[in-house]
Amino acid sequence: MKFRKAVLLGIGENALSKENWSRFDSLVEKRVSIAPNDPKLNAELTDADCLFNGFGVEVKKETIDAAPNLKYIGIFATAFNFVDIAHAKSKGITISNVAGYSSEAVAEFLFGALLEYMRDLEGSKKLGRAGVNEYNGALGRELKGKVFGVIGLGNIGGRVAEIAQGFGADVRYWSRNRKPEMESRGIKYENTDELISHSDILTLHFSHNKDTINFMNRERIGKMKNGAILMKFISMETFDTDALADRLSKGEITFIFENDEETPKSTFEKFAKLKNCAIYPSNAYATFEAMARRQSIFIDNIDNFLKGKPSNKIN
Amino acid sequence: MKFRKAVLLGIGENALSKENWSRFDSLVEKRVSIAPNDPKLNAELTDADCLFNGFGVEVKKETIDAAPNLKYIGIFATAFNFVDIAHAKSKGITISNVAGYSSEAVAEFLFGALLEYMRDLEGSKKLGRAGVNEYNGALGRELKGKVFGVIGLGNIGGRVAEIAQGFGADVRYWSRNRKPEMESRGIKYENTDELISHSDILTLHFSHNKDTINFMNRERIGKMKNGAILMKFISMETFDTDALADRLSKGEITFIFENDEETPKSTFEKFAKLKNCAIYPSNAYATFEAMARRQSIFIDNIDNFLKGKPSNKIN
């Protein structure tokens, strides 16, 4: 079975490799790429049975209603809050995203950033490049044996926990649901507040929604150990940034994070001055391997839907 | 049982914590610290039954002969080529070092330096500090699935292999002796030249002696894959630096290394200019935890000898 006609919104020719476009074309008879604001969009949607959109490209109720034959929406991203999921569901349309394509990339970046800080690689590299060929007197810290707390043991958090175990850390977690398989491998469950207060290194991996905004409130930030390292590769809206700035400016904890658009500029400026902050752009997800995986998951989803076994279904 | 008198050479009051000095003093009735070139050394040695020396402090035949009651030499370092091991052995003296105290520190540093390079953390941090809060367009590389070759599966190499497995790398090794326990955990044995030619990441962990000088000769360096990353946390004398410079200047491989005194200055200057070289001082071994472990292994060795079960015996 094949789709008859695909409409692509915000997915350019460069989004897929030549090889992946051939796979796409083997699954879809015809494809039309169109700008989301093109007045001809609704006309193109009339006979479309599948729709694909890129990160942040809205698929509203009206768009869905303009496509009476629509059976499938494929999102070329992990996030899906820009698609009217409920309305699509009410019409019996399947929606798949490319969840998990960047889990490995984020988890590996996190350990790079953590060790970079614990061993002062930036400072060390400068000396190395200048020709220092002996020990320069700086002592680092080790991961082994440290209490490593993961809040949210999903795709990314799960990989972070496994890698931390490889380093010999004492890995503990809290997640909405218990993970018996991970527990059987020695990753210990603790309740949130205990976990926060026990962790030498604390990292959060859950999605950004109304329930998780301000999860790390002043009380929880206050529970972190002196000397602990907090890692943030999720939205800054999860954190009480004032409470965080208070502890950071006293030098009590360290903050390693991806900056994002939710970080107030005044907060960023406070953090940027502090030695105990290591700040990165939103690069953790971006590897060659993740980009390739995103494409193959995107196409596998189409293939699986057509075979009657939808994958990465979000509705 | 206790030692009666210790002579300490090149081990100052700061070498051990107060707590560790108390442990030391509970095992040795009297201790004398003396400079290795002090003319009173031989007189002090006459009634000494144990001798302790720091990194690089020579213990020659004459020193040993000046201490007729000597039963034990404790080296406050991993290296021991500055002690006349054979002569001590011929006199029935036990020698222990502090092997392994820095294995974890070196293994962790290696992964920090590797990920730093694979994700361009230095460049990324600069942008982060400047306020970039979106993806900056740079794509990194992942460790997962890469062929990760370890030559020398001792204390350090073994830990490197285990951590690489946590990252999901395809870990392979060559070592003088097969390691069935590691193989049972999925670390595959290959012969040296195969391993060198298959590895995406190659790291060497063995000691520096007449058999290992120039181990990575021109032929072996030539066998490395284009695009491979070579990591060096051992002596530069293990490498044909001209052959290495040839491949590096063509951009064929990447070299991440601790600079050392064996690196010819002209070679260093060649490497320092190249983008595909990341150069560090000899800092990998230096963590607070390793320094603490060095002290406790040093004292445990004394305790174990006195209990008739010498540990970290090197003769």
Position B110 scores a pLDDT of 98
pLDDT reading at A136 higher than 90: no
pLDDT reading at A278 higher than 90: yes
Contact across the interface for A128 and B165, Cβ inside 8 Å: no
Q: How far is CA B285 from CA A213, B75, B104, in A?
A: 41, 17, 8
CB contact set of B55 (below 8 Å; sequence gap of 6+): B10, B76, B77, B79
Position B264 scores a pLDDT of 87
Q: Residue B179 corresponds to which tokens in the numbers above?
A: 């390691």
Strand partners, A256: A231, A278
Interface test with B, best of A17, A122, A142, A270 (most B CBs within 10 A): A142
Nearest to A280 by CA among A264, A254, A265, A258: A258
pLDDT reading at A199 higher than 90: yes
Chain B residues within 8 A of A109 when measuring between CB atoms: 115, 119, 140
Residues B105 and A250: beta-carbon distance below 8 Å: no
How many other C-beta atoms are found inside a 10 Å radius of the C-beta of residue B32?
A: 14
How many other C-beta atoms are found inside a 10 Å radius of the C-beta of residue A82?
A: 16
Closest-CA residue in chain B for A261? B133
What residue spans define the domains of chain B?
3-101+289-306, 103-280
User: Which run of H or E residues covers position A75?
Assistant: strand A72-75
**Using CA atoms, how far apart are residues A101 and B279, in angstroms rounded to an integer?**
32
**Using CA atoms, how far apart are residues A188 and A199, in angstroms rounded to an integer?**
12
CB contact set of B129 (below 8 Å; sequence gap of 6+): A272, A279
CB-closest option in B124, B286, B289 to A283: B124
pLDDT bracket for residue A76 (50, 70, 90): very high
Q: Please state which CATH class domain A103-280 belongs to.
A: alpha beta
Å between A278 CA and nearest CA of chain B: 7
How many other C-beta atoms are found inside a 10 Å radius of the C-beta of residue B219?
A: 11
Contact across the interface for B132 and A259, Cβ inside 8 Å: yes
Q: State whether the Cα torsion A153-A154-A160-A165 is positive or negative.
A: positive
Å between B209 CA and nearest CA of chain A: 20
Residues A238 and A215: beta-carbon distance below 8 Å: yes
Position B37 scores a pLDDT of 92
Position B263 scores a pLDDT of 87
Position A208 scores a pLDDT of 82
Q: Stretch A300-315: mean pLDDT, rounded?
A: 96
Strand partners, A172: A149, A188
CB-closest option in B121, B122, B133 to A261: B133
Report the residue count for chain A: 315
Going residue by residue through chain B (315 aa), what tens digit of pLDDT does each one get? Answer: 899 999 999 999 999 999 999 999 999 999 999 999 999 999 999 999 999 999 999 999 999 999 999 999 999 998 898 999 999 999 999 999 999 999 999 999 999 999 999 999 999 999 999 999 888 888 999 999 999 999 999 999 999 999 999 999 999 999 999 999 999 999 999 999 999 999 999 999 998 888 899 999 999 999 999 999 999 999 999 999 999 999 999 999 999 999 988 888 888 999 999 999 999 999 999 999 999 999 999 999 999 999 999 999 998
Q: Residue B302 corresponds to which tokens in the numbers above?
A: 């004394």
Position A207 scores a pLDDT of 85
Chain B residues within 8 A of A143 when measuring between CB atoms: 108
Position A264 scores a pLDDT of 87
Same fold, B3-101+289-306 and B103-280: yes
Closest-CA residue in chain B for A128? B280
Contact across the interface for B140 and A113, Cβ inside 8 Å: no
Mean pLDDT of chain A: 96
- Which amino acid makes up residue B269? E
CB-closest option in B121, B272, B281 to A136: B281
CB-closest option in B121, B167, B281 to A166: B167
Q: Model confidence over A148-180: pLDDT tens digits?
A: 999 999 999 999 999 999 999 999 999 999 999
Contact across the interface for B281 and A122, Cβ inside 8 Å: no
How many other C-beta atoms are found inside a 10 Å radius of the C-beta of residue A17?
A: 13
Contact across the interface for B283 and A124, Cβ inside 8 Å: yes
Contact across the interface for B289 and A260, Cβ inside 8 Å: no
A277 SS3 class? strand
CB contact set of B310 (below 8 Å; sequence gap of 6+): B94, B96, B301, B304
**Using CA atoms, how far apart are residues B20 and B4, in angstroms rounded to an integer?**
18
In terms of Cβ atoms closer than 10 Å to its own Cβ (0-12, 13-18, 19+), residue B285 is buried
How many other C-beta atoms are found inside a 10 Å radius of the C-beta of residue A26?
A: 12
CATH 3.40.1410.10 assigned to B3-101+289-306: no
Q: Model confidence over A231-273: pLDDT tens digits?
A: 999 999 999 999 999 999 999 999 999 998 888 898 899 999 9
Chain A residues within 8 A of B127 when measuring between CB atoms: 280-281
**Using CA atoms, how far apart are residues B205 and B152, in angstroms rounded to an integer?**
5
CB contact set of B144 (below 8 Å; sequence gap of 6+): A104, A108, A289, B167, B168, B169
Closest-CA residue in chain A for B112? A115
Q: How far is CA B26 from CA A29, A149, B19, B20, in A?
A: 84, 39, 11, 10
Helix count and strand count (H, E) for chain A: 13, 12
Q: Stretch A61-83: mean pLDDT, rounded?
A: 95
Which ipTM did the prediction report?
0.91
Report the residue count for chain B: 315
